Amino acid sequence: MESSKDNLRAPVSQKPHVIEKPKDTSGIGGMITVEINEKKITVPLGTTILEACNDNQIHIPTLCHHSDLCIAGVCRICVVEVEGMRTLQAACAFPITAPLKIKTSTPMVRKARRHILDLMLSEHYGECYSCFRNQNCELQALAKEYGVDEYTFGHVNTPRYEVDRSSASVIRDMNKCILCKRCVRTCIDLQEVGVLEAINRGHETHIGTFLDKPLADVICINCGQCINRCPTSALRANDPSDEIWAAIDDPTKHVVIQTAPSPRAGIGEEFGLEPGHSLTGEMNTALRRIGFDRVFDTNFTADLTIMEEGTELLNRLKKVIVDKDTTVKLPQFTSCSPGWVKFIEHFYPEYLDYLSTAKSPQQMFGAVIKTFYAQETGIDPKDIVSVALMPCSAKKFECNRPEMRDSGFKDVDYGLTTRELAKMIKEAGIYLPEMPKSHFDEPFGDASGAGLIFGATGGVMEAALRTVYELVTGREVPFTNLNIEPCRGFDGIKQASVLLENCKDEYSFLEGVEVKFIVAHGTANAKKVMELLRKGLLSDVHFVEIMACPGGCIGGGGQPIPTSEEIRKKRAEAIYAEDESLTLRKSHENPHVQYIYEKFLTEGPCSHKSHELLHTHYTKRGRFIA
Amino acid sequence: MDISINKSPRQGAVLFSPYLRGEGIQKALEIGRENILFEIRESKLKGRGGAGFPTATKWMLVAASVAKEKFIVCNADEGEPGTFKDRVLLLEYPELVFDGIVIAGYTIGAKEGIIYLRGEYEYMLQSLEDYLSKMREDNLLGNSILGQEGFDFDISIRLGSGAYVCGEETALIESLEGNRGEARNRPPYPVNTGYMNRPTVVNNVETLASVPHILLKGGEWFKKYGTDKSTGSKLFSVSGDCTRPGVYELPWGTKISELLEIVGGENAKAVQVGGASGSCIPRSQFDRTLAYEDAATGGSIIIFDKNRSMLKVLKNFMEFFVEESCGQCTPCRIGNVKLLEGIKDIERRNYTFSYINKLKDLGRTMQVASKCGLGQSSPNAFISILENFKEEIFNYNGFGGTNGK
Ligand SMILES: Cc1cc2nc3c(=O)[nH]c(=O)nc-3n(C[C@H](O)[C@H](O)[C@H](O)COP(=O)(O)O)c2cc1C
Ligand code: SF4
Ligand code: SF4
Ligand code: SF4
Ligand code: SF4
């Protein structure tokens, strides 16, 4: 499957006008020997100087470069000397095609880097100690690395731009922007949404939206991928922690938190751990110590989502196959990623009928907490403050959608990101990795591994297949250890199928049906899938999982910074390992899920009551901005 | 500044010598690609757009590459302050420019030529289009040009929209592709990955206009003019404090003092050679020659007499760069602002020499660390004017010069 980079859109100036590396480097000229700092290094043709240095323990500072994005070569901090060239060259952008002599730390190079930093700092409004990226800022780190101890070319002390706080998810403070354009490349090239672009030129250049409108008024899908790649605090999520502290401190409030699968796999990074350490139990304890009254596992409603969405799929299949109902749409698309939902609402509003009507696990939990849980515990729902710990910035927008008030209240009061929780934990004086472990609270104490793997791309599909296959055939999915490998991995678009045989009587209409499914992550890939749908090429596909963020939720816009494919893979591995360690690994076997259908949603999945609480509808937003 | 064109009949050894439309194309088709490349190489023609890259090498790189499509782009953006010689060629000698493009297209194997015309030259669009129509009628464009089987070629004109940086060849290509006018990373160069990612030759109007003459009269003939390293002649756009401003064709190697005599600028105290991005030459150095190896220029010559305040001249240039920087790279986007602020500090007499020296140092970083030629050359004026006019600028009595004009 082609990678998302094959289909780049404007700004083409940011396109990697690179020299293709040869597929086979054994031919003549396939490998080139260069001298870097007098050391001979042999690299494949087309390798950039930066890549060559990185592979050889030579540190080159970078700012506009990001491993997920195409080359820009604009900040110029990575300049090096190349013998025979009049000017310094940007190491990130310079492909090696000839035997060069390169020097990475000469007086000219050091002076240039220092000058560039001095220039950036001269325009950089604000101070590190009052900044959310303090100690996790690439600009600050470089200032330290280059020993900046004065503002050689001055320092602004009045802001130039108004901070854009319009969006429920993303706050833009262009006074901190260094114009590295990572956000532009993220939004346009990586996500293919195209909200952010440089406006004006010269000193007036700034990153803006269409006609410089507030972010809330344009087609931003709130994915937060731009935040994760911004080297400074110019972009950040809309942080509700003050309000949450206030609720915790208010004795009349019953504050509950549900925690999604991905934050536990990422939060350790905020405490200096290597990526790939799950801190589920430690986090539960920390949350209680902070003062949350109950700690729930979103995986529980992920299991519930599987029951609802799986049943919806079976219903759709039945309507199409048995009733020959042509108004029913297939394939069914997942709806648990609010970034993806907003994407389809903007870009493919005519296809909203393909989306599952099931709410996301966050919103299902919200609805359940202020109804079923309130009922069971006898707490007045108006006194419940429901917080959702999410790896995601779009969840903040989602919980504010007007349709998400089916409990009669705002179902979820606050979406809190992994980063924001880490900050709260630190503020409470807790060092998370050393917390004793504890379990989630009843009545939703257990969740399955199927719910857990929702965090990685392909996880929803895998969880759904584990359940749907078993519901239909009465047998476990035919994959070793229940690990449905075709759903896993980081290919942009994955496609596979499962054959349904020896079906139970009530599902005899599915006998011999090969269930075809597609898994895509990142909205650039989603767009490719939607284009296939538009061309009518998905008529034999039944189920499509789409996550707005590259890697799925583990790469969400609320996860620890930095991000890279390597980091995302490690987080995914942590999730899959935890799934395998569990005994409960199928959503339909979750006793708490069975309990809620017995006690509360007594008519079963996709019934009237579950429709009222657990399903939703969508808005045809379109692409045109008023 | 008066930049009106000298309307007297033009005289010059090469470009302004007699030429009949189509002659060069005819000759090119007769002698074939290899001989064209040979003649151009013999002539040692270098790019007239400023950078002075050997034209034959550029053409050969594209001619030798294998690609589905190739392009020849004529850079008629003419945005360097004080340059207006391409305008003269396009208005008065279109046969040279267009024949040059056709010859280039033939040589490199392109089917399409594009003229990127400065937005402000929109007024000449119609006459150029009419000229192209006539060429099509006469089979100097179109299919099987002049009966040459398989040589199909046409030219289109595209308008810029007023950004100086779009004269930089990679920004020009971005602009042609419909993107923000921002310079690309190089390498890869346009000869490899140019317009639509295809091998592309970008040449200045004057470079292309020289080609038909070279083919007709030979590289040897061309080399008779100019110096060893700067062959042929050059169009100079002369403006500023002189009695006869205008466009002049003079051989490379002409001394600045000689040029001043010709144009009636003997009273000059300084000459800005190469426009805003060039360097400022004081009277004491007027015996320097105009040549790639000495005082290089894409054609712009601006003359300042003793009444000019050099600080104001410099401020003017720096305001230009602050305005025209595309803004993508740090040294140029912010650096130019710092240099301009430094000038304002001097103007207000509120500066320290140590800070001015820091700014000069910054200028040297900009020269090597900026992404494209704009930022790389924008500090030239700052450094050369502050160096060469120290006395005037730092000891000035009020506004510099005598009457503060
Ligand atoms: C900022 C900037 C502006 C330029 N403007 C022009 C221009 O207006 N016309 C031009 O021919 N070349 C201009 N150039 C030079 C071009 O980049 C390029 O070198 C030239 O078009 C190549 O043609 P030549 O080899 O025939 O000179 C400019 C370069 C820079 C860096
Ligand atoms: S963005 Fe970075 S450099 Fe700027 S104030 Fe924040 S921490 Fe400091
Ligand atoms: S949140 Fe996503 S869609 Fe919105 S600007 Fe950032 S990258 Fe673009
Ligand atoms: S907002 Fe952040 S990512 Fe975007 S250009 Fe500015 S500093 Fe870079
Ligand atoms: S040097 Fe100036 S004009 Fe050139 S790329 Fe950098 S900012 Fe743009």
Q: Please report whether residue B382 resides in a domain.
A: yes
Mean pLDDT of A93-101: 94
A118-237 and A239-292+302-408+419-426+446-626 share one CATH topology?
no
In this structure, the answer to whether residues B246 and B148 fall within a common structural domain is no
Mean pLDDT of B70-99: 96
| B window 101-160, beta carbon within 8 A of A | none
- For A119, the closest chain B residue by CA position comes to B334
pLDDT at A210: 94
Q: Was domain A32-105 assigned CATH 3.100.10.10?
A: no
Contact A88 B334 (CB under 8 A): no
Q: Shortest CA distance to A428 belongs to which of A240, A248, A559?
A: A248
Question: What's CA B339's distance to the chain center, in Å?
Answer: 24
Q: Give the confidence band of B404 by pLDDT, cuts at 50, 70, 90.
A: very low
Tokens encoding A586: 């199928």
Contact B327 A93 (CB under 8 A): no
Domain range for B326 is 310-394
Contact B163 A201 (CB under 8 A): yes
pLDDT at A48: 94
**For B215-263, what is each residue's pLDDT tens digit?**
999 999 999 999 999 999 999 999 999 999 999 999 999 999 999 999 9
Q: Please report whether residue B285 resides in a domain.
A: yes
Mean pLDDT of B113-120: 97
3-state SS class at A448: coil
CA dihedral A201, A203, A209, A210 (to 10 degrees): -40
Q: Give the confidence band of A546 by pLDDT, cuts at 50, 70, 90.
A: very high
Question: Looking at beta carbons, which residues of chain B come within 8 Å of A75?
Answer: 329-330
B336 vs A: CB within 8 A: yes
The pair phi, psi for residue B273, each rounded to 5°, is -100, 120
Q: How far away, in angstroms, is A224 Cα from ligand 3 center?
A: 5
pLDDT at A15: 52
Range name among A20-24, A512-516, B56-60 with the lowest pLDDT average: A20-24
How distant, in Å, are the alpha carbons of A326, B51, B75 from that of B192? 53, 18, 18
Question: Pick the residue with more confidence: A189 or A112?
Answer: A112
Question: What's CA A480's distance to the chain center, in Å?
Answer: 29
pLDDT at B162: 87
pLDDT at B396 over 60: no
Q: Where are the domains of chain A?
A: 32-105, 118-237, 239-292+302-408+419-426+446-626
Q: Give the confidence band of B174 by pLDDT, cuts at 50, 70, 90.
A: very high
pLDDT at A12 over 50: no
Question: Pick the residue with more confidence: A625 or A397?
Answer: A397
Distance CA A450, CA A543 (A): 17
Q: Please report whether residue B13 resides in a domain.
A: no
Contact A76 B179 (CB under 8 A): no
In this structure, the answer to whether residues B240 and B130 fall within a common structural domain is no
List the CATH number of the domain containing B323.
Answer: 1.20.1440.230
- Residue B2, judged by CB atoms within 10 A of its CB (0-12, 13-18, 19+), counts as exposed
Question: Pick the residue with more confidence: A3 or B271?
Answer: B271
Q: Please report whether residue B17 resides in a domain.
A: no
Q: Across all residues in chain A, what is the average pLDDT?
A: 94
pLDDT at A626: 73
Question: Looking at beta carbons, which residues of chain B come within 8 Å of A19?
Answer: 187-188, 192
Q: Which residues contact A316 (CB under 8 A, 6 or more apart)?
A: A328, A329, A330, A332
CA dihedral A121, A124, A130, A133 (to 10 degrees): -80
pLDDT at B146 over 70: yes
Q: How far away, in angstroms, is A64 Cα from ligand 5 center?
A: 15
In this structure, the answer to whether residues B63 and B120 fall within a common structural domain is yes
List the CATH number of the domain containing B248.
Answer: 3.10.20.600
B176 vs A: CB within 8 A: no
Work out whether the CA dihedral A505, A508, A514, A515 comes out positive or negative: negative
The conformation of residue B54, written as its DSSP 8-state character, comes to B
Q: Shortest CA distance to A418 belongs to which of A558, A570, A242?
A: A558
pLDDT at A338 over 60: yes
pLDDT at A22 over 80: no
Of B168, B202, B223, the last residue of a domain is B223
pLDDT at B164: 96
Of B223, B249, B271, the last residue of a domain is B223
Q: Shortest CA distance to A541 belongs to which of A579, A514, A566, A561?
A: A514
Question: Looking at beta carbons, which residues of chain B come within 8 Å of A181?
Answer: 328
In this structure, the answer to whether residues B57 and B201 fall within a common structural domain is yes
Cβ-based contacts under 8 A for chains A and B? 130
Q: Please report whether residue B361 resides in a domain.
A: yes
In this structure, the answer to whether residues B246 and B112 fall within a common structural domain is no
- For A111, the closest chain B residue by CA position comes to B365
Ligand 4: residue of A74, A225, A232 to mutate (most ligand atoms within 8 A of CB) is A232
Contact A88 B376 (CB under 8 A): no
Work out whether the CA dihedral A458, A10, A65, A193 comes out positive or negative: negative
In this structure, the answer to whether residues B243 and B365 fall within a common structural domain is no
pLDDT at B119 over 60: yes
Q: How far away, in angstroms, is A75 Cα from ligand 5 center?
A: 11
In this structure, the answer to whether residues B371 and B349 fall within a common structural domain is yes
Amino acid at the residue A258:
Q
In this structure, the answer to whether residues B168 and B37 fall within a common structural domain is yes
List the CATH number of the domain containing B48.
Answer: 3.40.50.11540
pLDDT at B7: 40
Give the position, in ligand 3's atom list, of the atom nearest the Cα of A209. 5
Distance CA A385, CA A281 (A): 22
| Nearest CB partner across the interface for A17, out of B184, B323, B370 | B184
Distance CA B97, CA B100 (A): 5
**Helices B23-43/B205-217 angle, 10° precision:** 100
pLDDT at B6: 38
CATH number of A239-292+302-408+419-426+446-626: 3.40.950.10
- For A80, the closest chain B residue by CA position comes to B369
- Return the HEC string of B107-151: HHCCCEEEEEECHHHHHHHHHHHHHHHHHHHCCCCECCHHHCCCC
- For A117, the closest chain B residue by CA position comes to B330
Q: Please report whether residue B9 resides in a domain.
A: no
Q: Which residues contact B16 (CB under 8 A, 6 or more apart)?
A: B10, B93, B249
Ligand 1: residue of B62, B169, B189, B211 to mutate (most ligand atoms within 8 A of CB) is B169
In this structure, the answer to whether residues B97 and B199 fall within a common structural domain is yes
Q: Shortest CA distance to B36 belongs to which of B67, B60, B52, B66?
A: B60
Q: Shortest CA distance to A178 belongs to which of A209, A207, A136, A211?
A: A207
pLDDT at A262 over 70: yes
In this structure, the answer to whether residues B55 and B89 fall within a common structural domain is yes
A111-134 burial code (b ≥16 CB/10 A, e <16): bbbbbbbbbbbbbbbbeeeebbbe
B141, HSE (Cβ side, Cα atoms, 13 Å): 23
Of B223, B243, B277, the last residue of a domain is B223
pLDDT at B96 over 60: yes
pLDDT at A204: 96
In this structure, the answer to whether residues B300 and B325 fall within a common structural domain is no
pLDDT at B8: 45
Contact A86 B328 (CB under 8 A): no
Number of domains in chain B: 3
Peptide bond preceding A44 in cis form (omega within 30 of 0)? no
3-state SS class at B239: strand
pLDDT at A2: 32
* Strand residues in A120-250 grouped as ranges (E): 170-172, 197-199, 206-208, 235-237
pLDDT at B9: 67
Q: Please report whether residue B209 resides in a domain.
A: yes
pLDDT at A19 over 90: no
Q: Please report whether residue B2 resides in a domain.
A: no
Tokens encoding A347: 């870009």
Range name among A5-14, A606-615, B78-87 with the lowest pLDDT average: A5-14
Distance CA A204, CA A208 (A): 11
Range name among A1-15, A249-263, A358-372 with the lowest pLDDT average: A1-15
Question: What's CA B54's distance to the chain center, in Å?
Answer: 14
pLDDT at A18: 55
In this structure, the answer to whether residues B111 and B50 fall within a common structural domain is yes
Mean pLDDT of B5-26: 83
pLDDT at A467 over 70: yes
Mean pLDDT of A512-516: 96
Ligand 3: residue of A187, A190, A347, A396 to mutate (most ligand atoms within 8 A of CB) is A187
Instruction: Report, at the CATH architecture level, how domain A118-237 is classified.
Output: 2-Layer Sandwich (3.30)
